[in-house]
Amino acid sequence: MARQKFVCGNWKMHKTVAETAALVRELRSALGDAAGEVQVAVAPPFTALAAAVEAARGSAIEIAAQDVHWEKQGAFTGEVSAPMLADVGCRHGIVGHSERRQLFGETDEAVRKKVGALLAAGVRPIVCVGETLAEREAGRTLEVVDRQVRQGLAGLSVDELGRLTIAYEPVWAIGTGKTATSAQAQEVHAAIRRILRDVGAPVADQIRVQYGGSVKPENAAELMAQPDVDGALVGGASLKAADFIAIVKGALR
Ligand code: PEP
């Protein structure tokens, strides 16, 4: 079954409100019809979400949040809830990014709760999974990814599974300039597809599995040409309009 490619830019802790509006405007005018053939989203920091939604209004560019708290509201200083993300106009929410897992102690259980909270608020989760270099070198890649996918998605209905995206992001490839080869990516993506079949049989072939980890204009098309690579989650290269546009166009080839 043909899955529409989905490319999302993760801006991390970059861009002011004015810079966000300018970059979204640049993307929308350059991408034109390409955003639509390929699903395109950007994830600015929380402070710039409203400006991004405004700048993208009327275009095919969608806005994603980089994280979420699982409670709807309450005494959780510094946190932002899923209904708040829906309220500001976010269509997607990234959860389980390796920087959240490694720097902020995010567990598979937290990922599961965040996924549930996003779905309940009508925001589509992008669930990040991926092994560290030590885990890869110990031959544990598939075991780690299997655990992260099963625990992160535990208890979801078939309908809920159909609304999410998985991002396979080998930790050793994020921000390092080292990209998984297209064969390495395809191997893990195919394994993720098998796990998805196991947990959500009828919708497994509809769920997009993005690749993330030093995606650049030079490697994007080859990675996304793999049968189970359905797009990209792009960090560093999403901060420059020309690079991100070239990556989105790479999904069209
Ligand atoms: C990311 O942070 O999701 C990512 C893939 O970063 P980069 O593209 O910079 O490796």
Task: Please report whether residue 251 resides in a domain.
Answer: no
Query: Residue of the nearest CA to atom 4 in ligand 1?
Result: 235
Whether the CB of 102 sits within 6 Å of ligand 1: no
pTM, 2 dp: 0.97
- The pLDDT score that the predictor gives to residue 202 is 86
pLDDT, mean of residues 151-175:
95
In a domain, 131, yes or no: yes
| Residue 84: per-residue pLDDT | 98
Instruction: Report the alpha-carbon distance of residue 31 to residue 120 in Å, rounded.
Output: 31
pLDDT at residue 110, as a whole number = 98
Question: Which residues form the domain of 24?
Answer: 6-67+77-231
CA–CA–CA angle 31, 33, 39 (5° rounding):
75
**9 CA distance to ligand 1 middle (Å):** 8
CATH of the domain at 141: 3.20.20.70
Number of H helices, E strands in the chain: 12, 8
Annotated catalytic residues are 97, 169
Residue 165 lies in a domain: yes
Query: Does residue 175's CB lie within 6 angstroms of at least one atom of ligand 1?
Result: yes
| 206 — pLDDT class (breaks 50, 70, 90) | very high
Whether 113 is covered by a domain: the verdict is: yes
Q: Is residue 195 part of a domain?
A: yes
Please compute the mean of the pLDDT values over residues 205-213 and round it to a whole number. 96
235 lines ligand 1 (CB under 6 A): yes
**Whether pLDDT at 91 is above 70:** yes
* Residue 1 confidence class, pLDDT cut points 50, 70, 90: low
pLDDT tens digits, 21-50: 999 999 999 998 777 799 999 999 999 999
Domains: count for the chain: 1
Q: List the beta bridge partners of residue 209.
A: 166
Instruction: Tell me, yes or no, whether 107 lies in a domain.
Output: yes
Q: Within a domain: residue 247? A: no
| Nearest Cα residue to atom 8 of ligand 1 | 235
